[in-house]
Amino acid sequence: CYLLFQALRQISQRTISTASRRQLENRVPELQKHFQEDNGLPVHLKGGAKDSLIYRTTAGLTVCGTIYALYYLLVSSMPKKPN
């Protein structure tokens, strides 16, 4: 059992240590420049169409949730009708 454990440990270490690491380029300065640019857009919409879609979806869900909550508040405040 000990030999099996040792063999598995060596294989796992070898696999992890020889895995090629992908070099990622640092895009932070580029993104900082893009988001700090004064183009009249609020920062939460500077990401493009995806940000706009997320913003509008969130705003729509907020409005629908508020209407839903107010409706059920109104319904629950009405007295029950006797049958």
pTM of the model: 0.56
Q: Supply the pLDDT for residue 14.
A: 59
Q: Supply the pLDDT for residue 44.
A: 84
Token pair listed for 46? 């500077």
Cα(28)–Cα(6) distance, integer angstroms? 43
Cα(74)–Cα(70) distance, integer angstroms? 6
Per-residue pLDDT of the chain (83 residues; tens, 9 = 90+): 777 877 877 777 655 545 556 778 889 999 899 889 898 888 888 888 999 999 999 999 999 999 999 999 999 999 888 87
Cα(83)–Cα(75) distance, integer angstroms? 17
Q: Supply the pLDDT for residue 50.
A: 92
Q: Answer whether 45's CB lies under 8 Å from 55's CB.
A: yes
